[in-house]
Each structure stands twice: as structure tokens, then as C-alpha cells.
Structure 1
């Protein structure tokens, strides 16, 4: 039994609908090297980590991974800067409820800091801490991103709820000791201990999160 201390959010797919933009960026990147990117490969890429995806793309395209990484980040940066970034249903309301209640909040993503900045500027959402994938030695599915967020906020992972939409992110949050609310937009997510699967963040409230941690 724990009293809720913090609510943490994944970014791509969970906070905002950007997975379609990532797929478009990956298609553009592979085309730049004379190769292709399929829907099946997009599912493989869902949630990252970025390095794994880039290594796969580079191997398939017979290109240098560093060059591929630069091309991909430039492509997604341009797309995210020029397209609407819809906030996923229920996210803004849950974040506002958490902040109004005095709970710690955080954004934890494998994406780069420059992409976090684009999302925050576009949505106007605010968090107590933001964790970027290019600022830590380990990314999801390693627990480090969520462990780092909890340490930065001064909260206990056991008393922290994480909203995630990919198996990569869920593995990270679970390994860090957090309770996970899984919102499977694209991934197939199986039931697991200390995890709740919901269709949308509209189905989540602070009252529900407190009840889950109190069990």
C-alpha cells in the first residue's frame, strides 16, 4: 500500500499523437538512402530505443548509423515543427488534476531534448521535470529514465504512476518499480502485476490511481 506521490507521462503516443509522424520520418529517412520502411518495421520501432532503431535502419540501408541518426532526427524535427501535435484524449485533464492536487509530475521519453521542446511549446503543457533520451547513458527499456525522474522529484517509485503506450516504456517503468497505466494505441499489451490497461486516459482519474496504489 502506498500513497500516490507522482504521475509520470511518456511522450510519443501517450502524451501526443506523434507515432504517425515518426513513421513518416522513418519512411523519408529510408528513402533518402534508397531503401524502404514497412508497417511491420514501424511496429518494431515503436517505443525505441532510438539507437536500436537507427542501427536496424542503417544496416538495412547499408549506411552509416551516425548519418542515419542525423537524417532521422532532422526529419522528425521538421515534421513536428510544422504539423499539429494533438494531445491524446484525457491527458491534459489528468495532468491538470495532478498538478492542482500538488502531486509531482514528469515527462519521460526516449526522444531528444529538442523534440521535447517542440512538444511543450506546441501543447502548452508543463511538468516538474522532463527527462530526454539523449541526456542519459541508458534509455527505455532500461529503468534508468524513470529512476532518474523519481530521484529528481524526490518521490518513491512505488508511489509513482506512469502512463505508457509501448512495451519498451512499460518494461522501463516496471523495472523502476512504478505502477503502470498502459494505453495500447498501437502495441498489444498483456496484463501484468502492478499494471492497469485502459483504452484512453479519459478512463483515468486521480481517485482511481489512489485506489490502485492503496490496494
Structure 2
């Protein structure tokens, strides 16, 4: 089937673009892994890289239960607070680690007038730290892990973001780096772009798989929307996409 071509006159931009944060907008997963390892170690336990990979994309309170099982003798709220605080310290010390092409795409979408929401399972205070580090006030809505009842992979976070922006989720594009996040976005009804980072997305429920956000602009998202409208099925970009 012939791909939909970009026409700036007739091709409609997304109603909104909904961004995951950790691992998608910013490369904070190594900070979380460090915080987890330090926390488990402080209680005499051992936390492996494989253990840390199993936490990618999880809601923080779900993750807290796994850390308790590893020997962390704190309640869930204490774990979330300590973990978040440590990651925020690392961001303050080392700077915001933007993912390749992410900040550029955010700024291009903002300039094009596309509404943006940050949909993260980190808590709001950390999400605001990242949003405030951007050179433009791009994110009109933040949906954080402490602001929803059901964490990803439940569709609530993405549905809530669309509701707060006042847009139809079917006209939205979501950008994610984890199977958990892609499951949430897909279940909500958004077009889901998977951008692999720490873990493979081969079996995740994505609409399209991109190796990176570098080189992609608003027109690429508009084409995905047009393809959905034409009933076409998007496929992985096999020429570039590969899990690290």
C-alpha cells in the first residue's frame, strides 16, 4: 500500500502529542537504577541490572512493592519519596539528560501549536522539574503517577491527559519507550510510537517503531494520523529500528 504523503495544506497535525517522560523524553532510567541499587543496598540486599530492567515503565507504587520484597523495610510512600528525591538530586547534579531528538521535537510541536501533555508514572514534583527545564512552556498538562488511580499499563493516564487537554484520544499520538507504556497508550486509543531504549519493544503493542526521535518532525506525526484515517496499518521502520 502506498504511504500517505506529507501535504502541509491537507495533512492534519495531531490533536495532541502525549509524551512519556523517563526513557522517552529524558534518559533518567540509569538514575532510577542507581537509586534502586543504593536503596536496596542500604538495607543489606542485592539489586541486579536484570531486577532494574523489570521496573522500567512500572508505576512507582508497584515498583515500591518489588523493592519491599527485596528487603527495603519502608512503606510504599517512603520508598517513592526517597527514590524520587535521589533521582532529582542526580538530575540537579548532572543536568537533564534529554533523549536524542526529544527536546527538538517538543520545541517543533510547540512552535506548530500542537498541544502537549506529559504522561509519566513519576510523581508530579519530578515531572515539573523536567518541564521547567525546557526553554519553552510546551506542556500544558502533566499527568503524573500520584495524580491517577490506575498506573500504566491501564489506559487511565492517557485518557486523563486527553480529557484535560479537551481533545479526542483517537486524534492523539503517544510516544513511549516501554511495553507497559505502549500498552497504556494503545488501550486508551492513541496512535502509539515506540522508541526503544533500555528494553526491546518487539512484542509491545505499538502502532509504529522508530529507532530514534532524531530527524522526526510534526509532519511525521501528521502522516501517522493520516494513515489511521485511511485505514492503513503502520509498521516498524525496519531500516533503522532496533532495540539496544
TM-score after normalising by structure 2: 0.82
- Judged with a 3 Å threshold, the aligned counterparts in structure 2 of structure 1 residues 21 and 193 are, in CA distance, closer, same or farther, namely closer
Aligned ranges 1:62-73 → 2 under 5 Å: 63-66=73-76, 67-73=78-84
Aligned to 2:240: none
Query: Whose radius of gyration is greater, 1 or 2?
Result: 2
Aligned to 2:64: 54
2-structure distance, mates of 1:186, 1:193: 17
**Cα deviations across residues 72-124 of structure 1 (Å, max 9, x unaligned)?**
23322322232211211111221122122221111110001111122123344
SS at match of 2:17: strand
Aligned ranges 1:65-104 → 2 under 5 Å: 65-66=75-76, 67-104=78-115
Aligned to 1:174: 186
Aligned to 1:20: 30
Aligned to 1:152: 164
1-structure distance, mates of 2:57, 2:226: 29
- Judged with a 3 Å threshold, the aligned counterparts in structure 2 of structure 1 residues 151 and 72 are, in CA distance, closer, same or farther, namely same
2-structure distance, mates of 1:77, 1:34: 24
1-structure distance, mates of 2:154, 2:32: 21
2-structure distance, mates of 1:193, 1:38: 27
Aligned partners of 2:183 and 2:204 also within 8 Å: no
Offset at residue 179 of structure 1 (A): 0.3
Aligned partners of 2:39 and 2:72 also within 8 Å: no
Aligned to 1:202: 214
Structure 2 spans left out of the alignment, 5+ residues: 5-10, 228-244
- Judged with a 3 Å threshold, the aligned counterparts in structure 2 of structure 1 residues 194 and 184 are, in CA distance, closer, same or farther, namely closer
Higher helix share: 1
- Judged with a 3 Å threshold, the aligned counterparts in structure 2 of structure 1 residues 93 and 73 are, in CA distance, closer, same or farther, namely closer
Aligned partners of 2:194 and 2:206 also within 8 Å: no
- Judged with a 3 Å threshold, the aligned counterparts in structure 2 of structure 1 residues 18 and 193 are, in CA distance, closer, same or farther, namely closer
2-structure distance, mates of 1:69, 1:156: 32
Aligned to 1:211: 223
Which residue of the other structure, out of 155, 164, 167, is the alignment partner of 1:143? 155
1-structure distance, mates of 2:81, 2:107: 35
- Between the two proteins, the alignment pairs up a number of residues equal to 215
Aligned to 1:37: 47
Aligned partners of 1:110 and 1:133 also within 8 Å: yes
